[in-house]
Structure 1
Amino acid sequence: MTTTREAPPRHRAAPAGDADLATLLLRLGDDALVLGQRLCQWITWAPTVDEDLALSNIALDLIGHARVLLTRAGRLDGTGRTEDDLAFTRPERAFTNVLLAELPNGDFAATVARQLAYTHYAVLYYEALAGCADPELAAFGARAAKEVAFHRLHADRWTRTLAGGTATSARRLREGLERVWPYTAELFEEDAVLRRLTASGTVPSPAGVRRAWERAVADVLTGAGLTVPAPAWTATGGRSGLHTEEFGPLLAELQSVHRQFPGGTW
C-alpha cells in the first residue's frame, strides 16, 4: 500500500486591487501600532496620574485600530498572516509607518506637539475613509474617526494649556513643534499604490485632506498665540521601511515577549 502526502498549502497571490488595499491597511495599522507603543512608554512617567491614564487609553485605542487594520491586511495580501504575525514577527524594514509615529516621546510638550499633528490628520483621513467604496474600511473609518476625535481634543487642550502656562512650558512646546513639523509632510505623501487606489475609486488619497489639516492646526496654534513652524527640510522614508535609529529599540521592546516565548498563548 502506498500513501501520498498532501503538499503544504501555498498562499495565493493576492489580486492587484487586494494587494494595494492590503498595503494601505498595513501602513495605517503600522502608524497606529507604533504610535500606540510610543505612548505606552509614558505609563508611570506622565506628569499627573490623570495624564498617565489619558495617554494609556489613547494608546489602547490606537492598538485597537492596529488590530483591525493588520488583521484585514493579512487577509487581503494572500499570506494569511494574523495581526500577531504582522506585529511581532516582521523585521524593522518591513514596517511602513510614518517616521512621525516612531519619534521619541521627548518631554511632555514634545509628545503634545506630535499628538497635535497626528490626531488632526487621523480624524480627517478616517472621516474621508468613512465615505470610501470599501464597506468594511468605511465602517472602520467612521468608528475610528470618532475615537481619534477625543485624542484630538486632548492634544488641542494641552497645546493651549502649555502655550498659555509658564515661559518654560511655552518654550518647550515651541521646541516640540519645531522638532515634529519636518515629519508631518510624510503623512500626505502619494505613491503608485495610492494613485492606483484613488484612480479606481477604492479609497481617497491622504493628500486630499492636507489643506484641511493645515487650516485646522493653524487655527489651534494661532489661537494659542503660536506660529505654525516652517521647516527647512522634510523627512521621508518610513513608508518604504527606512526608519530612524530610535525605531530599532522601540520595535525590540514591542516584540520582546513574543521573541522570548514564541508561540506562547495566554
Structure 2
Amino acid sequence: MSESNASATRTTPGNALRPEDIAASDLKPSTDVAEYALRLGDDSLILAQRLGWWISRAPELEEDVALGNIALDLIGHARSFLSYAGHGLDKTEDDLAYFRREPEFRCAHLFVQPNGDFARTIARQLVVSHYQFELYSRLMHSTDPTLAAIAAKAVKEVDYHRDHSSQWVLRLALGTDESRRRMIAGLKLTWPYVEELFVDDQLIDTLGDAAVRPSTLRAPVDSLLASLFAEAELEIPAVPAAVGGGRHGKHSEHLGYLLAEMQVLAREHPGATW
C-alpha cells in the first residue's frame, strides 16, 4: 500500500492499525473526540505503569511474564489513543505521556490505585478488564473510524486480560484461608473506585455515537462479575463509593508519585532518542 493510500483504520491481518499510522493520518479528531481518546489512553498508560512494577516481584515466574505482557498490551492501547488525541491537540504521544502535570491527566481513580499485595492487584485488574472488554466491544461500532479501529484490536487483547484475572480470583478465593482473606480484602479496597467508571458527563452527551456511554456498561459488567463471584463464593463488597473527578483532572497524591517515576527520564533528557 502506498503512503498516499495509507489509512488510519487499516485492520487487515499483518497490517493492523499502528500509532504511527494515526499520527500521519488526515483523519484529525475534533477537540471533544481528542479529549475522549485522552481519557482512554490515560487509563491504559497509568495502569501499565502500575503493572510493570510486578516484573520480578510476582508470586510465580510465569506471572512475571503474564503481568508484563498485559502491561505491554496496555502500553500499545495507550500509544494509539494518545497518538489520536495528540493528532487533534497538536502534540505527540510522548508529549502527552511525559510532559503533562497531574491535573492534565484524565484517568479514572481506579487505574491509579496502588498495587498493594498481589490479591489487591488482581482485584483491580478484574474490574478493569471486564470494564474495558465491554467498553471496547461497543467502541468497535463508533462512528469515529479511528476509535473503532483501535477498539477492534484492543478488545481481543483485553479478552485475555479478563480471563487471566478471573482465573486468579477463583484460585485465590477458593485456595487457602490466607489467600481468600487477601482476595476479599483486595476487593474491599478496590470497590469504592468502581462507580466512577460508569458515570456519564457532558462530554459523553456531546460525542453521541462516537463514544460509549459509560452508564450503559454497568449492567453487563455487574452481571459478569456476579456470575464469577458466585463461582468463587464471594460477595460484592458493600462499601461507599469514593469521590470521583479523575476524568476532570482531580486526582489523589498517588498519581503524583507515579508520574514522578514515570516521567523523570524524559524530563531530565527532553528530546533524547536512542
Out of 248, 251, 257, the position equivalent to 2:259 is 251
Give the TM-score of the pair, scaled to structure 1: 0.90
Q: Deviation string for 1:136-158 (max 9, x for gaps)?
A: 11111111011000000000000
SS at match of 1:187: helix
**2:163 is equivalent to residue 153 of structure 1:** yes
Hey, what's the Cα distance between the residues in 1 that align with 2:252 and 2:175?
32
Out of 173, 183, 188, the position equivalent to 1:178 is 188
Describe the shift of the 1:29–1:257 C-alpha distance in structure 2 as closer, same or farther (beyond 3 A).
same
Shift of 1:233: 2.9
Q: Is the 8 A contact 1:182 1:231 kept in 2?
A: yes
SS at match of 1:97: coil
Out of 223, 228, 231, the position equivalent to 2:236 is 228
Identify the residue that residue 13 of structure 1 maps to in structure 2. none
- Give ranges in structure 2 of 5+ residues lacking alignment: 1-28
**2:121 is equivalent to residue 114 of structure 1:** no
**2:215 is equivalent to residue 203 of structure 1:** no
Hey, what's the Cα distance between the residues in 2 that align with 1:40 and 1:230?
30
Out of 53, 78, 83, the position equivalent to 2:65 is 53
SS at match of 1:105: coil
Shift of 1:202: 2.0
Shift of 1:234: 2.8
Out of 69, 91, 97, the position equivalent to 2:101 is 91
Hey, what's the Cα distance between the residues in 2 that align with 1:247 and 1:126?
25
Hey, what's the Cα distance between the residues in 1 that align with 2:93 and 2:164?
28
Out of 12, 19, 28, the position equivalent to 2:40 is 28
Identify the residue that residue 37 of structure 1 maps to in structure 2. 49
Q: Is the 8 A contact 1:99 1:235 kept in 2?
A: no
Shift of 1:229: 1.2
**2:80 is equivalent to residue 68 of structure 1:** yes
Matched pairs, number: 246
Hey, what's the Cα distance between the residues in 2 that align with 1:204 and 1:37?
25
Q: Deviation string for 1:46-77 (max 9, x for gaps)?
A: 11110011000000000110000000001123
Shift of 1:115: 0.4
Out of 68, 81, 84, the position equivalent to 2:91 is 81
Q: Deviation string for 1:31-53 (max 9, x for gaps)?
A: 00000000011111111110011
Identify the residue that residue 216 of structure 1 maps to in structure 2. 224
Q: Is the 8 A contact 1:185 1:235 kept in 2?
A: no
Hey, what's the Cα distance between the residues in 1 that align with 2:30 and 2:95?
19
Equivalent residue letter for 1:74: G
Hey, what's the Cα distance between the residues in 2 that align with 1:19 and 1:72?
11
Q: Deviation string for 1:205-249 (max 9, x for gaps)?
A: 121111000101111111100011122233301111111212111
Hey, what's the Cα distance between the residues in 1 that align with 2:194 and 2:217?
13
Hey, what's the Cα distance between the residues in 1 that align with 2:190 and 2:197?
12
RMSD, matched Cα: 1.0
Shift of 1:132: 1.3
SS at match of 2:30: helix
Q: Deviation string for 1:75-125 (max 9, x for gaps)?
A: 123xx1000000000011100100100100000000000000000000000
